[in-house]
Structure 1
């Protein structure tokens, strides 16, 4: 492992200037990782319209970087239904299974809660066993509906790993986001389960 990978990636809010780096990260994903995240072909390089939706959603987007190279993306966007935010993340191949996906989802979840989300939606391929296990473990009270090859989980809005998140914990995590760049390792406690690629 080289020295640039010894520390945790930094998580910050994303924006349009991140388009080229995000395209590079998405292009480096395996076909399976891209399918699990998007459930469709996204092109190589990804289309500009897709990148814009990922970086400027109706909610908020975040990227994780190592030496200014994007290694992860998470976002939330308002979904149909009262006060429901859809959460999604995608992590570079070399960074998967290290807890970064759950930490980034925690950042997006805290931001969505602060914006008024009361429910989370996760749309997951029925073949994506790692993501299904992650949702069931982190949000055990989620309900699920199947639509063809997709599973839609709806859960009460709370941070992963916490059965009932106290308001002061949410305020603390959201407050750290307002300061700009945040060490990803400081967002959540260590995790021991696989990181989702959705």
Structure 2
């Protein structure tokens, strides 16, 4: 493995200029990975309307890059229900199972909490064992409802890597993640 592959990806806010690179990443996913993320076929390359919804949601979107190549995407968007944010992530095949998904979900969760989210919503295929294990481990108090092949989890908004914590601890973690994001944004050249 070369040094480029071992360096952790840079996570930053996403926007419309990321559409082509995000389309490339999504096109490189297996059919199963795309189905687990979208619960439907998305086409190759993905439609521009889908890419724009992913990059400019009603909440915020983030991409993970390595040498200008997108290797992950996470987002949150306002969902029905009082102060409920839906969280979702998708990671390039070669970067799966290395902690990038939970790292990106943590950043999206922190941003959603800062925006006022009090609950998180996840919609997951009942066949997506890895995501189901992660949700049950990271958000053990989530309630779940089944709708055919989909499971809908709702949980109080908290960061995934920590068990129950006080509101002060959540705010401290949100501030820490936001400082990291600001440093990353400062390091990016203006477009």
Range of TM-score over shorter length = over 0.9
> In the comparison of the two structures, how many residue pairs are matched?
183
**Could you tell me which residue of structure 1 aligns to residue 78 of structure 2?**
78
CA RMSD for the aligned pairs? 1.4
Instruction: Report Cα offsets for 1:142-171 as digits up to 9, x if no partner.
Output: 000001110000011000121134121222
Q: Does the 8 Å CA contact 1:23/1:45 hold for their aligned counterparts? A: yes
**Could you tell me which residue of structure 2 aligns to residue 170 of structure 1?**
174
SS of residue paired to 2:62: strand
Q: Distance in 1 between matches of 2:57 and 2:27?
A: 20
Higher relative contact order (CA 8 A, sep 6+): 1
Shift of 1:181: 4.3
TM-score by length of 2: 0.93
Instruction: Report Cα offsets for 1:122-154 as digits up to 9, x if no partner.
Output: 000000011011000000000000011100000
Q: Distance in 1 between matches of 2:20 and 2:174?
A: 32
Shift of 1:177: 1.9
Shift of 1:4: 1.5
TM-score by length of 1: 0.89
Q: Distance in 2 between matches of 1:60 and 1:127?
A: 27
User: Gaps (5+ residues) in structure 1?
Assistant: 183-198
Q: Does the 8 Å CA contact 2:106/2:161 hold for their aligned counterparts? A: no
Q: Does the 8 Å CA contact 1:11/1:181 hold for their aligned counterparts? A: no
Q: Distance in 1 between matches of 2:185 and 2:67?
A: 13
Q: Does the 8 Å CA contact 2:113/2:158 hold for their aligned counterparts? A: yes
